[in-house]
């Protein structure tokens, strides 16, 4: 890659630049700031679309009464049961149970507080679900 080929495509890095290694006219390596590259932006968006799809599936399940609000927060924070269990310091089995509406409704305040702390929200906001989820990138395309 030559210095003048270093991509400056912008978008997901906001005002950021990353460093690219490229060769100058004499063939020597130089460090060049890059505003981003369209192909890597594209696959980054694809990764977010996967997360967004999982979150909307979670919201549907919650609205149908099949899951507790914890499922939304878990997916929103890009976690699975195993990772969430590590963060709250409980067994996977317990966390899995708390993802069901009935056991969730019976949770003690201390346990709710542990979840809320991991998700960095006050405990009384655990049940607050957004009508529309904001993502750091445009996730317009639909993925199955």
Partner 1 sequence: MTIEFTHRQSAHCESGVTSNLLNHYAHPVSEAMAFGIGSGLFFGYFPFIKINHLPLITFRGAPGSIFKKCASRLGVQVQSRQFRAPRRAMDALDASIDAGVPTGLQTGVYWLPYFPAALRFHFNAHNLVVFGREGDEYLISDPVVDHAVRCARADLERARFAKGALAPKGRMYSLGKVPEQLPLPAAVRRGIKEVAFRMVRVPVPLIGVRGMEMLARDVERWPQKLGDARALIHLGHLIRMQEEIGTGGGGFRFIYAAFLQEAAQVLECREFEALAQEMTEIGDQWRRFALLGARRCKGRDSAENTFPALAQMVRECAQREKFLFNELLRVLDS
Using CB under 8 A as the criterion, which residues of the chain lie in contact with partner 1 when the complex forms?
A: 1, 12-14, 16-23, 27-29, 31, 33-34, 37-40, 42-44, 46-48, 50, 77-80, 82-83, 86-87, 136-137, 143-144
Positive or negative: CA dihedral 114, 115, 116, 118: positive
Task: Provide the minimum distance between the beta carbon of 19 and partner 1 in the complex, in angstroms, as a whole number.
Answer: 4
Task: Provide the minimum distance between the beta carbon of 46 and partner 1 in the complex, in angstroms, as a whole number.
Answer: 4
Q: Which is nearer to partner 1, 29 or 93 (CB)?
A: 29
Q: Which is nearer to partner 1, 108 or 142 (CB)?
A: 142
Q: Which is nearer to partner 1, 18 or 66 (CB)?
A: 18
Q: Which is nearer to partner 1, 17 or 125 (CB)?
A: 17
Task: Provide the minimum distance between the beta carbon of 136 and partner 1 in the complex, in angstroms, as a whole number.
Answer: 3
SS3 (DSSP) at 86:
helix
Task: Provide the minimum distance between the beta carbon of 66 and partner 1 in the complex, in angstroms, as a whole number.
Answer: 21
SS3 (DSSP) at 34:
strand
- Spatial separation of the C-alpha atoms in residues 30 and 19, rounded to whole Å: 10
Task: Provide the minimum distance between the beta carbon of 95 and partner 1 in the complex, in angstroms, as a whole number.
Answer: 13
Q: Which is nearer to partner 1, 79 or 113 (CB)?
A: 79
Query: How many contiguous H segments (helices) and E segments (strands) does the chain have?
Result: 6, 2
- Spatial separation of the C-alpha atoms in residues 41 and 80, rounded to whole Å: 25
Residue 100: exposure state from Cβ atoms within 10 A (0-12, 13-18, ≥19): middle
139: left (phi over 0), alpha (psi -120 to 50) or beta: beta
């Amino acid at each position: 890659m030559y210095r003048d080929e270093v991509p400056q495509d912008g978008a997901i890095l906001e005002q950021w630049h990353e460093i690219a290694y490229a060769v100058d006219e004499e063939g020597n390596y130089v460090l060049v700031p890059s505003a981003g590259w369209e192909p890597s932006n594209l696959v980054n968006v694809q990764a977010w679309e996967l997360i967004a799809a999982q979150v909307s599936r979670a919201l549907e399940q919650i609205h149908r009464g099949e899951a507790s609000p914890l499922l939304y927060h878990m997916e929103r924070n890009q976690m699975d049961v195993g990772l969430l269990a590590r963060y709250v310091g409980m067994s996977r089995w317990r966390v899995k149970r708390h993802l069901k509406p009935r056991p969730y409704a019976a949770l003690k305040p201390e346990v709710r507080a542990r979840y809320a702390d991991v998700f960095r929200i006050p405990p009384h906001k655990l049940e607050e679900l957004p009508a529309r989820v904001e993502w750091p990138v445009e996730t317009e395309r639909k993925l199955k």
